């Protein structure tokens, strides 16, 4: 089991990154929010989960151990594999998932692409209290930065749009949803710390999984 990686970020793409550790490059799949915190050429640490199949070894990376624990726990539900588990964390924070499961919030669960009503009901039923209580570590929504803090002009809007396209929406729908989120938040750009919140807010605007 590879529980974590610490090394230099060699590359960052839409759904993956490469961390170079002692001369070896490790390909790690991650959510847009986790990837937004990585910078090429800088050192980073990711909590990881290694998924072993007959024909592959796949690493999934997370900002912290709590995300990894949730990723692994939701896969105990029948029909939930690593890709769907990662999609759940792309749409919801660990605490948001805990609240959705604990409260039987089917509407929140079906916002994840690939989860329908029956699947959401099964997830809520089978997970039960396995995820534990919320920890209070939710990521801020767009525009939630302290008003007195300096703002960097580092617009990640395109990253959010690309993530939505990767989750199944067309470019225009994704771009319109992000524009709506920015307008509602009263901001003009998506800063790096706000990528996760902007993605989740855009998914709420889109109203659930494509199709």
pLDDT by residue for the chain (211 residues), tens digit each?
Answer: 789 999 999 998 878 999 999 999 999 999 888 887 888 999 999 999 999 988 889 999 999 999 999 999 999 999 999 999 999 998 888 999 999 998 899 998 998 888 999 999 999 999 988 998 887 655 444 443 333 333 344 677 887 887 777 767 788 888 898 899 988 888 888 877 777 788 878 888 887 545 4
pLDDT at 101: 92
- Domain final position from 127, 145, 172: 127
Report residue 32 CA to chain centroid gap. Answer: 6
Residues 6+ apart with CB under 8 A from 49: 59, 60, 62, 68, 71, 72, 82
The reply to whether 58 and 74 lie within a common domain is no
The reply to whether 20 and 42 lie within a common domain is yes
Number of domains in the chain: 3
- Domain final position from 15, 34, 62: 62
3-state secondary structure at position 6: strand
Residue 132 covered by a domain: no
180 near 21, Cβ under 8 Å?
no
The reply to whether 74 and 48 lie within a common domain is no
Residue 150 covered by a domain: no
**Structural domain for 51, as ranges:** 4-62
pLDDT at 194: 78
**CATH number of the domain where residue 184 is located:** 1.10.8
pLDDT at 150: 38
**CATH number of the domain where residue 53 is located:** 2.40.50.140
Residues 6+ apart with CB under 8 A from 146: none
Residue 17 CA to residue 36 CA, distance in Å, equals 10
Please give the model's pTM, rounded to 2 decimal places.
0.69
Residue 134 covered by a domain: no
101 near 127, Cβ under 8 Å?
yes
Residue 139 covered by a domain: no
Q: What is the DSSP string of 142-165?
A: TT-S-TTS-------HHHHHHHHH
């Amino acid at each position: 089991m590879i529980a974590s990686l610490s090394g230099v970020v060699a590359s960052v793409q839409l759904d993956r990154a490469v961390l170079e550790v002692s001369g070896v490059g490790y390909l790690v799949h991650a959510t847009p929010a986790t990837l937004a915190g990585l910078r090429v050429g800088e050192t980073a640490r990711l909590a990881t989960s290694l998924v072993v199949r007959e024909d592959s070894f796949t690493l999934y990376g997370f900002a912290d151990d709590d995300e990894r624990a949730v990723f692994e726990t939701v896969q105990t539900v029948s029909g939930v594999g690593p890709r769907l588990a990662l999609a759940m964390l792309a749409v919801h924070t660990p605490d948001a998932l805990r609240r959705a499961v604990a409260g039987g919030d089917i509407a929140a669960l079906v916002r994840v692409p690939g989860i329908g009503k029956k699947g959401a009901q099964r997830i809520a039923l089978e997970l039960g209290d396995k995820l534990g209580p919320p920890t209070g570590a939710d990521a801020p929504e767009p525009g939630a930065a302290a008003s007195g803090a300096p703002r960097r002009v580092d617009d990640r809007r395109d990253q959010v749009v690309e993530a939505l396209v990767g989750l199944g929406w067309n470019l225009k729908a994704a771009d319109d949803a992000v524009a709506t989120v920015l307008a509602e938040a009263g901001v003009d750009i998506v800063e790096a710390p706000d990528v996760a919140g902007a993605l989740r807010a855009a998914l709420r605007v889109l109203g659930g999984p494509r199709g």
